[in-house]
Every structure is written in C-alpha cells, then in structure tokens.
C-alpha cells in the first residue's frame, strides 16, 4: 500500500479492522512450501492419497498460511511516515482452527489492538488476526501478532 500516515494518524487506526486482498492457496504454492521447509507430508503434496483422508484432498500447511501474513500486511496496511524497517517481534498466540484446502482463497482481517511508542525511534504494533477461507465460512487461523516499526 502506498498511503503514508503520521504516528498520530496511525494511532487513529487502533480499534479498526483492515481487510486484506484474497490470496490463492493453490497446489503449486503448497508444494513449493513443502520443498522449502522439507515438510513433505502426503496431506500436502499427494492429491490421490490426500483424497482418501477426511480432508478429501491436499491442504496447505498451517505454517504456510502463517507465512503469507507479511505479504498480506504489506498490501493492506498504510506505511508509517519515516519508517526505515519493520521487525517481526513475535506472536502471543497462534491457533490453526481449520485446514485450508488446495485451491482455496484466503483473506486476513487485521484488528489493530494497539500502536504505541516504545523508544524514541521505535513503535510497537499489536494486531489480532483472523484468516478466513472463502466460501467455507470457516476461520483457518487466529493469532496475536506483534511487530516493531523503526523510524
């Protein structure tokens, strides 16, 4: 996103929900993630075997769903004026509630819980996230994410 906000303007986002674009979780993405992470469990990469499971087909790794969040943030959130970099500080909670079937589109809802100065050149952003699976009316993932903006 190209919009740039001052610290004061960014604070006004607290309590608001920002919704990301939809992202396709196709077999190509799932298989590439399996190769990079060496997590080649059949439920992710073998459509024939996975079809015999309760999932009825391959599913995305939970960690793949988590790992696309930085992209979804980048395309959803406005920039902070003067920001040099953003650091992933960590998560207080992550839950994988429902599997994401291959071929599904996901979308993240980011509830901005807080945005505050923690040092002269650093701001902490705390966000509650829920990732929904289009057409299934199910939540794939929930998390509380903390990031640090360095200005």
Range(s) of the domain holding residue 99: 4-150
Express each pLDDT in 4-56 by its tens digit: 999 999 999 999 999 999 999 999 999 999 999 999 999 999 999 999 999 99
pLDDT score of 2? 74
Please tell me the total count of domains within the chain: 1
Asked whether 147 and 83 are in contact (CB, 8 A), the reply is no
Express each pLDDT in 74-127 by its tens digit: 999 999 999 999 999 999 999 999 999 999 999 999 999 999 999 999 999 999
Q: What is the CATH number of the domain that holds 80?
A: 3.10.129.10
pLDDT score of 37? 97
d(CA 67, CA 150): 22
Residue positions counted in the chain: 151
Residue of 87, 70, 83, 69 whose CA lies nearest to 10: 83
Q: Which secondary-structure segment (H or E) carries 123? A: strand 122-133
Radius of gyration for the chain, computed over Cα atoms and rounded to the nearest angstrom: 17
pLDDT tier, 1 (very low <50, low <70, confident <90, very high otherwise): low
pLDDT score of 150? 97
Asked whether 4 and 120 are in contact (CB, 8 A), the reply is no
pTM of the model: 0.93
């Amino acid at each position: 996103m190209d919009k740039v906000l001052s610290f004061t303007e960014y604070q006004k986002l607290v309590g608001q929900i920002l919704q990301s674009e939809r992202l396709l979780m196709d077999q190509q993405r799932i298989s590439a993630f399996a190769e990079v992470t060496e997590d080649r469990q059949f439920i992710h990469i073998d459509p024939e075997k996975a079809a015999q499971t309760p999932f009825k087909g391959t599913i995305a790794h939970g960690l793949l769903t988590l790992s696309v969040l930085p992209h979804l943030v980048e395309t959803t959130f406005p920039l902070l004026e003067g920001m040099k970099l953003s650091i992933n500080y960590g998560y207080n909670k992550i839950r994988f509630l429902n599997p994401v079937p291959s071929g599904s589109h996901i979308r993240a809802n980011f509830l901005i819980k807080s945005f505050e100065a923690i040092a002269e050149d650093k701001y902490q952003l705390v966000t509650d996230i829920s990732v929904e699976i289009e057409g299934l009316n199910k939540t794939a993932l929930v998390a509380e994410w903390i990031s640090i903006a360095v200005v």
